[in-house]
Amino acid sequence: MATIKDVARVANTSPATVSRLLNGGRVKKATETAILKAIQELDYRVHTMARGLKTKKSYTVAYIVPDLTNMFFAQIAKGAQEIFHQAGYSFMLLSADNNPEREEEILRFLLSKKVDGILLSSVTTSNQQVKEIMEDIPVVLIDRVLPDLEADTVLVDNVNGAYLATEALIAEGHRRIGIICGPQELLTGRERYRGYIRAFEDYGLALNESLIKFGDFEISSGYAQMCELLKQPERPTAVFVCNYYMCLGAIIALNEKNIKIPEDLSFVSFDDYELSQVYNPPLTAVEQPMVEIGEEASEILLRRMADNSKEKIVKRLKTKLIKRGSIKKADSLQLNG
Amino acid sequence: MATIKDVARVANTSPATVSRLLNGGRVKKATETAILKAIQELDYRVHTMARGLKTKKSYTVAYIVPDLTNMFFAQIAKGAQEIFHQAGYSFMLLSADNNPEREEEILRFLLSKKVDGILLSSVTTSNQQVKEIMEDIPVVLIDRVLPDLEADTVLVDNVNGAYLATEALIAEGHRRIGIICGPQELLTGRERYRGYIRAFEDYGLALNESLIKFGDFEISSGYAQMCELLKQPERPTAVFVCNYYMCLGAIIALNEKNIKIPEDLSFVSFDDYELSQVYNPPLTAVEQPMVEIGEEASEILLRRMADNSKEKIVKRLKTKLIKRGSIKKADSLQLNG
DNA sequence: ATTACAACTGAAATCGATTTCAAAATCCTA
DNA sequence: TAGGATTTTGAAATCGATTTCAGTTGTAAT
């Protein structure tokens, strides 16, 4: 493979001049033509490792996700990739596979790869390693915050999203509203739960502990907790499921027990994917602006890489309730309208 | 950040010795201890760019997918990531976003990044660039083959998968069986179509052109082509949809027209994701061993990187028909059993 | 023609590792 | 303990770029 020296030799000039041209410096027109011709001829490409060694920049950023096959993170990655591509950065997507040790390894790897910036949706709850890394490399947190860590962060207004979902059920007259919460170690889990509680408070309704179940955002727990809900002596008339995967599990449980949405049970979930439209009836759901999250985070990271001085930004994006056909008016409807 | 020189100084030895230890060479026990201590103390990490410059290896491989958010490729990536992680390689996942030019750019980028190997599910149908790259870097093709290109390839037995699906419908007495094919530019599109045809031939049944529709593997075309099928004067009693996304579109169409699976229409699709189990009734589908595809391809690439001599491998993995509840016996059933 | 100034250019140092090869240290045997 | 064999070591060259800085060339003004 041709090097900058070869190009210089063929173009009858020096490596310094070739480098200058490559990096937008000024070069006599004639020299430029000769160099360009040589580059073409030799099919020369800069050796980014050599360049990076000298410049201490890799023009590469990475996004570490908990799970590659999780649609939420895949969509965010899509948004991020677009922005970095436009900015001339190369973008690596890495999955920690829900394994904290793997995440640690990846972080070490990125450090020695000398990436210029990191987007992180962490699977850990400890911030030690990240804290250290942030001294060398800008990091933007996405969706998963770390305790007591002052860092740029992009997330979604979970409280409001959950509030909207719960409110929609209340508005149709439901009072026995079950919830399948996410894990309370995660901020998103806590916040969505809080949105539910707040809606009850605002409408002056009493919470019923037996209708509040905790899952872990995975299909299996959606299934298990929905079964729990259905076992209650007084079944809920509606249920709010706090993420997509638990929603899948919940629906499997419903199908098994032959419980129909919305005739037998009204249904809302957090996250809006294809399923929501494909299901019959289409599901009312809280939509997160996933691609935007990725874009926003990337832009923050880009700014941060250019100038690491300013104080940290926390950006919250709005969620939206998409009304479809999975909520029915409660039978015992006694509204004032 | 500490360099190998710093480590050498602190450990009171030379960079050469440190390097030797780092790379598994022999070093006196005492020296080793001193070096390890120094590394710890200084929090030293090898600078992979510097190393790569010298060794001409990056210990990095990349997988280029058409679309990050396509479950099929995401699952393959998951399998691949695991294998490379075990082998000590770092793994980059890059999306061409269904854009041939973007793919070209990525390929160029990887070349200058000096990755050691490439996994590719190409969005193009031209092999020129890939052919050139293969002279420098081992490439393994996944699912998407390129015309006239002799390369290691991993794919799935599409013909058989489609045959199984079609056969399952025939076995239940269906004769008017619609198909929504994938794009015929893609091998998978062609092969699945061929499996359908072959089943008809083997069972001595006549094909009905009006029930053969062509989509592009996207949701929208699944919707559109299903609408077309339903417009036929004599509706099909069963339909085989050639991938997941078209299956989503098809089901939306069915819901809209209030056509029930399997009462009004029996249904089989290629690809088996969560939806198949969540849908009511659960869908009969052809499962592809996605994670295995990724693993298999990675292992081939690993071998290829170690020894680029042997002749090219084409590996076909088996598909499996998962029977669930979306096929009903045909009304006009007149079988010999 | 001379000077002043701007525009270009290239030799050499540098980034942080690896690797070669000869020298130094250590071990072993007689 | 001498001498040879074996281990262990480090100086220096190298990978392919960038960057500095001094020198060269070109231009304009006097």
HEC secondary structure over chain B: CCCHHHHHHHHCCCHHHHHHHHCCCCCCHHHHHHHHHHHHHHCCCCCHHHHHHHHCCCCEEEEEECCCCCHHHHHHHHHHHHHHHHCCCEEEEEECCCCHHHHHHHHHHHHHHCCCEEEECCCCCCCHHHHHHHHHCCEEEECCCCCCCCCEEEEECHHHHHHHHHHHHHHCCCCCEEEEECCCCCHHHHHHHHHHHHHHHHCCCCCCHHHEEECCCCHHHHHHHHHHHHHCCCCCCEEEECCHHHHHHHHHHHHHCCCCCCCCCEEEEECCCHHHHHCCCCCEEEECCHHHHHHHHHHHHHHHHHCCCCCCCEEEECCEEECCCCCCCCCCCCCCC
C-alpha span between B261 and B163 (Å, rounded): 21
- The gap between B1 CA and D6 C1' (Å) is 37
Mean pLDDT of all residues in B220-240: 95
Structure tokens at A217: 């955002």
Nearest to A74 among B74, B114, B274 (CB): B74
Chain A residues within 8 A of B274 when measuring between CB atoms? 219, 248, 275
Mean pLDDT of all residues in A306-318: 89
| Bond into A66 cis (ω within 30) | no
* B279 close to A (CB below 8 A): yes
Residue with the bigger pLDDT between B172 and B336: it is B172
* A135 close to B (CB below 8 A): no
Mean pLDDT of all residues in B168-188: 97
- Name the residue in chain A with its Cα closest to that of B89: A109
Task: Tell me: pLDDT of B241 over 90.
Answer: yes
Q: What is the pLDDT of residue A88?
A: 84
CB atoms < 10 A from the CB of B173, how many? 17
C-alpha span between B49 and B5 (Å, rounded): 16
Task: Tell me: pLDDT of A27 over 80.
Answer: yes
Q: What is the pLDDT of residues A203-212, one digit of tens each?
A: 999 999 999 9
Hunting for tokens 């026990």 — which residue is that?
Answer: B29
* A291 close to B (CB below 8 A): no
Task: Tell me: pLDDT of B304 over 90.
Answer: yes
Q: How confident is the model at residue A139 (pLDDT cuts 50, 70, 90)?
A: very high
Q: What is the pLDDT of residue A44?
A: 95
Burial level of B278, CB count in 10 A (0-12/13-18/19+)? buried
Q: What is the pLDDT of residues A269-299, one digit of tens each?
A: 999 998 898 888 899 999 999 999 999 999 9
Mean pLDDT of all residues in A77-92: 91
Mean pLDDT of all residues in A167-176: 97
In this complex, which residue's CA is closest to the C1' atom of nucleotide C26?
B28
Q: What is the pLDDT of residue B255?
A: 86
Contact B81 A93 (CB under 8 A): no
Q: Which of A3, A68, A101 to mutate to test the interface with B (most CBs of B within 10 A)?
A: A68
Q: What is the pLDDT of residue B275?
A: 83
Q: What is the pLDDT of residue B334?
A: 45
Q: What is the pLDDT of residue B256?
A: 85
Task: Tell me: pLDDT of A83 over 90.
Answer: yes
* B325 close to A (CB below 8 A): no
**DSSP SS3 for A8:** helix
Task: Tell me: pLDDT of A335 over 80.
Answer: no
Segment 213-272 of chain B within 8 Å of chain A by CB: 219, 248, 251-252, 255
* A52 close to B (CB below 8 A): yes
Contact B248 A278 (CB under 8 A): yes
Q: How confident is the model at residue A300 (pLDDT cuts 50, 70, 90)?
A: very high
| A194, A159 Cβ separation under 8 angstroms | yes
Task: Tell me: pLDDT of B296 over 80.
Answer: yes
What pTM did the predictor assign? 0.89
Q: How far is B70 from chain A (nearest CA, A)?
A: 9
Q: What is the pLDDT of residue A332?
A: 63
Task: Tell me: pLDDT of A336 over 90.
Answer: no
| A319, A156 Cβ separation under 8 angstroms | yes
| A215, A182 Cβ separation under 8 angstroms | yes
Residue with the bigger pLDDT between A334 and A105: it is A105
Structure tokens at B276: 């198949």
Selection from A175, A74, A53, A51 nearest residue A121 by Cα: A74
Q: What is the pLDDT of residues B39-74, one digit of tens each?
A: 999 999 999 999 999 999 998 999 999 999 999 999
Task: Tell me: pLDDT of A112 over 90.
Answer: no
Q: What is the pLDDT of residue B337?
A: 34
| A145, A187 Cβ separation under 8 angstroms | yes
Q: What is the pLDDT of residue A293?
A: 98
Chain A residues within 8 A of B109 when measuring between CB atoms? 90
Cross-sheet strand order for the sheet of B152-156: A314-317, A152-156, A139-142, A117-120, A60-65, A90-95, B90-95, B60-65, B117-120, B139-142, B152-156, B314-317
Task: Tell me: pLDDT of B150 over 80.
Answer: yes
* A279 close to B (CB below 8 A): yes
Q: How far is A105 from chain B (nearest CA, A)?
A: 10
Mean pLDDT of chain A: 93
Percent of chain B with pLDDT over 90: 82
Contact A93 B94 (CB under 8 A): yes
| A71, A274 Cβ separation under 8 angstroms | no
| A193, A179 Cβ separation under 8 angstroms | yes
Q: How far is B202 from chain A (nearest CA, A)?
A: 34
Contact A47 B114 (CB under 8 A): yes
**DSSP SS3 for A281:** coil
Task: Tell me: pLDDT of A337 over 50.
Answer: no
Segment 74-93 of chain A within 8 Å of chain B by CB: 74-75, 77-78, 81-82, 85, 90-93
Percent of chain A with pLDDT over 90: 82
Q: What is the pLDDT of residue A31?
A: 94
- Sort strands A314-317 and A284-287 into parallel, antiparallel or unpaired: unpaired
Q: How confident is the model at residue B310 (pLDDT cuts 50, 70, 90)?
A: confident
Task: Tell me: pLDDT of A113 over 60.
Answer: yes
Contact B78 A97 (CB under 8 A): yes
